[in-house]
Every structure is written in C-alpha cells, then in structure tokens.
C-alpha cells in the first residue's frame, strides 16, 4: 500500500470539509489508517477497541471477509442498476429478510430498500400515512429517528435536529428554520429514572396495570382523535436518547395501538439484525409490528443500505397502486450483495444467539462495576447494546442537570460521559454514547469475552477517575 502522508491528509481534512459537532476552531482530526473486527487502527499502529461500534452499525465486525468477498464478486458483474431493474442480489436480499430472518412470524409482507436509516424512517412514515390516509404521527421524548425532514420532526432530542450552536456556552442554538414544522404529537418517554410524569416505577400502574406513560399516550391519541393518527413510531430501546424501557412498556404500547386502530412503526435501524440478542428488539416482548424501519446492521455498514418491511395487509394495499417514489440507489446491486452476505454470515454463524449469550456476560461484568462504583445509577440493555447511567448520588441526581434535553451550547468537557470517554481512550477503548450523563456501549455481535473484559477494565479506570474528580468537587 502506498505510504500515506497523514500530515497532508489532516491539512486537507481541516481545510475542505464542513465540520459536525465541533466548530472549526475546536476540531481535532482522528486519523484511522484501517479497521479490523472490533478495532480501529491509527497510523502509528495504536489499536482502539470500538465500543461505540461506530454508530452501533458494524454488527458483523469491520472488514468482514464474507461481506468483502461478496462485494468484490458483485463488482465483477455490476457497476450500478437503478430500482426498476431486477437483480438476483436484490431479490435474494428481500427473500432472506422475509423468509429466513422473519420466517417464523406471520406479519411480514414485503420490503422496500433504501440507503440509510433516515430514508427508511421517511418511507415508513409515508407508507403509514398513505395506508391510513391520516396526517398525524405520535413520537416520544428523547426519540432519535434521523436527520431528514420527516424523520427529524419525530426526532425529539433537542440537540439532534441539525441546529447550529457557537462554542460560547451562553449563546442560543439556532435550529433549521421550518425544520420542526409538521404534524406530530410527543408522548412521554419511558425514562423511569427521571419520569416526565413525576411517577416512580412500581407505583405508576393504573387499576388495569397500564403504565402511566402508556395511559398518557393513549389519552393523547383519544383526545387528538384516533381517526387523525396514522401511527405511533418508537425505537424499542432508545439508542441515541439512551432510554431502556421497563418490560411491560412495549407490549402495552402495542396493545394500545391495536385498541385505537393506529399503526405501530418499530424503528429498528439501530437495534436490528441481532444487536440486542434477537434479530429485532421487538421480539424480546412477544409482539409484532405493522412496519419496521431498518438500516445499519442490515449490511453491517460495509455499504450503506436501509429497508422498510410492511405487514401483509399494507403490502396488499400498496400492490394495488402505481406508487411513484424514487430513491436513486434503492436496491443498489453492490449494496444488495453486501446485505445478502451479511445476513448469510449472521445466519450461518448463529450470531444472534451468540449476541444473546455475550449479553449475559456484558450484564454480569457491568453489574459488577455497579457494585464497585457509586456513580453508576443504572445498567440496562441486552445483547451488545448496553446503557450505563451516571449519577452523582444515591438519589440518582444527574451530574448535568439538563440531561437529555441538552443542546450543544453546553460545554461538552463538563459532561461525565465525555470525561469517562477521554479516560477510557488512555486504555485504548472507545466508549459509546452521546448524552451528557449516559454511556451507551455497543460492539460487534462477535465481540470476544477478552475484549469485553478489556472494555470493562477501561471503564473501571475511567469511573474511578470520574468519582475522584467529580464527586469530591461536586
Ligand atoms: N433511526 C434510529 N442513529 C437511529 C438512526 C436513524 C434512524 C444515529 C446516527 C446515532 C445513533 C446513536 C448514537 C449517535 O443515520 P441514518 O440516516 O442512517 O439513520 C437514522 C433509531 O439510531 C441513526 C447517533
């Protein structure tokens, strides 16, 4: 491989690329020379264990040999074909999803491919509104569903709506004008540690056992008029917003949507394809959605791909129409080859079951840290997607009061999650998460126990620093 002039690379990077998350002045390049499994390799050979799994999207591990070989083989056959054409890759990718991945469930009808998670959510929202002929969608606090117009409206993390903020803490963020104009209703998130309704989990069920946040959502829709509401969209466990629901929440939301005759869109962009120890997170709760948005793990991000699966009734409805919607790269043959190889790899390696077992080990190790560190208020998750809530006392007080409502005018160096991240990197471990008080840990499905031990040791080191640094001074 030709010698890379990384000094020149960083110069061009700074000079020609629009930044996100940092001002130009704040920006520091992070040069990565190559990747391997759960590791990023820097130009000087430093290996970083990636417990962010990039953006929880490399399920089969970096540079997966099976996926890479399939891409190379497809490149011998194709450049590019648009969606109007039929290829074996696209047809087989659809068959694998409907028959091999979801074959033991009766609901799946058909799939439409797109290129990203935001596009998958946009398509899911559009189909739901077309099918029900209703304008309104219900989302939840702290939801993250994407950055495009429709997906951004149902995204309710204030700091995640493509706004701009100066680095001076006192300035007000500027949101994209008109970007939040749209018909959406916002329900409470099942964030039991800090219940928006002021309840305490365990004493918030009504006489029928319904959670207060579900009852609130039900009343919202009844007051709005269910005949106005096309769907409720939920992540099953909130990824960017870092909220893991109580066991009964998803089944009760599903029952509520059936009672009120509105669709349920499960946004599985982040949780799909084995990440939580099931093929899809909704399967932990014994329910079936009407529509599922998916991306990330569909191809393990070797090549961008996304998809929407609709139930049989919606598929039959859509089949009646000449539906004009076009996404140039929908069903891209090389992306579809990557999807087929990725699904074959996960199926053949029984990686969903492996992620479930690894999840038990992750839980055991993280609960062990919770015993040792008073700054851990909560550990929750499954498979290779875990949440660690950082608190400053046994009343579960957050270090950063604004918590999940933060926007980027806050000083990120004061966030305990960033302090932990900076210390863990000293041990060669990247810890995931974007909220001020919450770590969101994710790896590939085939992460080794040795690497989990390495991640937990780095976390132990970082939490010890956090407690000595923040708890003594706060
Ligand atoms: N739906 C969900 N997650 C998502 C995403 C999308 C849709 C972002 C990138 C994330 C997640 C965790 C931490 C930080 O980016 P995209 O258009 O392919 O998918 C939008 C539930 O999590 C993206 C960022």
Distance 474 CA to ligand 1 centre (A): 33
- Give the atom of ligand 1 at the shortest distance from the alpha carbon of 146: 20
Q: What are the backbone angles phi and psi of residue 147, rounded to the nearest 5°?
A: -115, -10
Scanning 17-143, the segments in alpha helix (DSSP H) are 53-56, 65-77, 88-95, 117-132
Inside any domain, residue 1: no
Of 418, 429, 438, the C-alpha closest to 461 is: 429
Instruction: Give the per-residue pLDDT at 178.
Output: 83
Instruction: Give the per-residue pLDDT at 346.
Output: 98
What distance, in Å, lies between the first and last C-alpha atoms of the chain?
A: 51
Distance 329 CA to ligand 1 centre (A): 19
Both tokens assigned to 20: 């996100």
Distance 433 CA to ligand 1 centre (A): 12
Is any ligand 1 atom within 6 A of the Cβ of residue 125?
no
Is any ligand 1 atom within 6 A of the Cβ of residue 442?
no
Shortest-distance Cα residue to atom 2 of ligand 1? 145
- Domain span at residue 280 reads 65-348
Q: Does 241 share its domain with 317? A: yes
Q: What's the distance, CA 79 to chain centroid?
A: 30
- Average predicted confidence (pLDDT) for the chain: 96
What are 232's strand-pairing partners? Answer: 138, 264
Residue 464 three-state SS: helix
Q: Does 365 share its domain with 465? A: yes
Instruction: Give the per-residue pLDDT at 193.
Output: 95
CATH number for the domain that contains residue 34: 3.90.1150.10
Instruction: Give the per-residue pLDDT at 411.
Output: 86
Torsion of the alpha carbons at 318, 110, 314 and 103, rounded to the nearest 10:
160
Distance 467 CA to ligand 1 centre (A): 31
Inside any domain, residue 265: yes
Please give the C-alpha separations between residue 404 and each of 139, 160, 171, 419, in angstroms, as whole numbers.
16, 10, 19, 17
Instruction: Give the per-residue pLDDT at 252.
Output: 98
- Per-residue confidence band for 105, with pLDDT thresholds at 50, 70 and 90: very high
pLDDT of 184 above 80: yes
- Per-residue confidence band for 95, with pLDDT thresholds at 50, 70 and 90: very high
Element (H, E) at 308: strand 306-311
- Give the atom of ligand 1 at the shortest distance from the alpha carbon of 148: 17
Q: Does 344 share its domain with 196? A: yes
pLDDT of 472 above 70: no
CATH number for the domain that contains residue 294: 3.40.640.10
Half-sphere exposure of 140 (CA within 13 A, CB side): 34
CA distance 431 to 458: 9
Instruction: Give the per-residue pLDDT at 1.
Output: 65
Is any ligand 1 atom within 6 A of the Cβ of residue 433?
no
Question: Pick from 325, 348, 371: which residue ends a domain?
Answer: 348
Distance 146 CA to ligand 1 centre (A): 6
Beta strands at 136-140 and 229-235: parallel, antiparallel or unpaired = parallel
Is any ligand 1 atom within 6 A of the Cβ of residue 123?
no
pLDDT of 276 above 90: yes
Shortest-distance Cα residue to atom 11 of ligand 1? 240
Of 460, 464, 439, 442, the C-alpha closest to 377 is: 439
pLDDT of 11 above 90: yes
Is any ligand 1 atom within 6 A of the Cβ of residue 102?
no
Inside any domain, residue 376: yes
pLDDT of 470 above 90: no
Sheet holding 39-41, edge to edge: 34-36, 39-41, 47-51, 429-431
DSSP state of 391: B
Is any ligand 1 atom within 6 A of the Cβ of residue 432?
no
pTM, entire model: 0.97
Q: Which of 50, 139, 144 to mutate to test the pocket of ligand 1 (most atoms within 8 A of CB)?
A: 144
CA distance 406 to 163: 12
Q: Does 362 share its domain with 337? A: no
Is any ligand 1 atom within 6 A of the Cβ of residue 330?
no
Please give the C-alpha separations between residue 349 and each of 343, 345, 354, 446, in angstroms, as whole numbers.
10, 6, 8, 9
Which residues are CB-contacts of 317 (< 8 A; sequence separation ≥ 6)? 131
Instruction: Give the per-residue pLDDT at 171.
Output: 66
Per-residue model confidence as pLDDT tens digits over 284-301:
999 999 999 999 999 999
Instruction: Give the per-residue pLDDT at 63.
Output: 98
Q: Which of 147, 159, 240, 406 to mutate to test the pocket of ligand 1 (most atoms within 8 A of CB)?
A: 240
How many CB atoms sit inside 10 A of residue 100's CB? 14
Q: Does 87 share its domain with 57? A: no
Total tally of structural domains belonging to the chain: 2
Shortest-distance Cα residue to atom 14 of ligand 1? 240
Distance 78 CA to ligand 1 centre (A): 29
Both tokens assigned to 262: 């509105």
Asked if residues 305 and 340 have their Cβ atoms less than 8 Å apart, the reply is no
Q: Does 389 share its domain with 327? A: no
Instruction: Give the per-residue pLDDT at 379.
Output: 98
Q: Does 33 share its domain with 78? A: no
């Amino acid at each position: 491989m030709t010698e890379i002039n990384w000094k020149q690379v960083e110069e061009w990077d700074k000079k020609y690329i629009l930044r996100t998350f940092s001002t130009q002045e704040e920006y520091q390049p992070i040069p990565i020379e190559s990747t391997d499994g759960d590791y990023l390799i820097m130009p000087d050979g430093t290996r970083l264990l990636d417990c962010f799994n990039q953006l929880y999207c490399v399920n089969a591990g970096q540079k997966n040999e099976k996926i890479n070989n399939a891409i190379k083989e497809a490149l011998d056959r194709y450049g590019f074909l648009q969606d109007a054409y039929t290829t074996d890759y696209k047809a087989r990718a659809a068959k694998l999803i409907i028959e091999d991945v979801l074959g033991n469930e009766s609901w799946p009808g058909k799939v439409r491919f797109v290129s990203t998670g935001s596009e998958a959510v946009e398509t899911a929202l559009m189909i739901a509104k077309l099918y029900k002929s209703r304008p309104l969608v219900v989302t939840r606090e702290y939801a993250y569903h994407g950055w495009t117009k429709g997906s951004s409206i149902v995204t309710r993390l204030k700091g995640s709506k493509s706004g701009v903020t100066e680095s001076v803490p006192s300035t007000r963020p500027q949101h994209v004008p008109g970007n939040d104009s749209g018909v959406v209703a916002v329900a409470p998130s099942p964030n039991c540690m800090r219940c928006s309704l002021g309840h305490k989990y365990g004493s918030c069920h009504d006489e029928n056992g319904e959670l207060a946040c579900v009852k609130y959502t039900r009343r919202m829709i009844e007051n709005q008029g269910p005949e106005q509401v096309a769907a409720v969209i939920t992540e099953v466990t909130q990824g960017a917003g870092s909220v893991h629901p109580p066991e009964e929440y998803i089944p009760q939301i599903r029952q509520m949507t059936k009672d009120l005759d509105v669709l349920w869109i499960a946004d599985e962009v982040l949780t799909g394809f084995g990440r939580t120890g099931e093929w899809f997170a909704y399967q932990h709760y014994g329910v079936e959605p009407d529509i599922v948005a998916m991306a990330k793990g569909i191809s393990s991000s070797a090549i961008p791909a996304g998809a929407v699966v609709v139930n049989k009734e919606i598929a039959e409805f859509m089949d009646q129409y000449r539906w004009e919607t076009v996404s140039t790269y929908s069903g891209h043959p090389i992306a579809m080859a990557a999807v087929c190889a990725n699904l074959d790899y996960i199926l053949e390696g029984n990686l969903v079951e492996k992620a479930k077992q690894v999840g038990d080990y992750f839980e055991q190790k993280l609960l062990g840290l919770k015993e040792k560190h008073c700054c851990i208020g909560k550990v929750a998750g499954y498979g290779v997607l875990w949440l660690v809530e950082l608190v400053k006392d046994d009343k579960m007080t957050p270090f950063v009061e604004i918590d999940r409502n933060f926007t980027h005018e806050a000083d990120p160096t004061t966030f305990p999650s960033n302090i932990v991240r900076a210390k863990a990197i000293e041990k060669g471990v990247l810890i995931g998460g974007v909220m001020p008080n919450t770590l969101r840990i994710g790896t590939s499905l085939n992460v080794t126990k040795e690497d989990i031990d390495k991640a937990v040791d780095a976390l132990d080191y970082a939490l010890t620093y956090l407690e000595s640094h923040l708890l003594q001074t706060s």
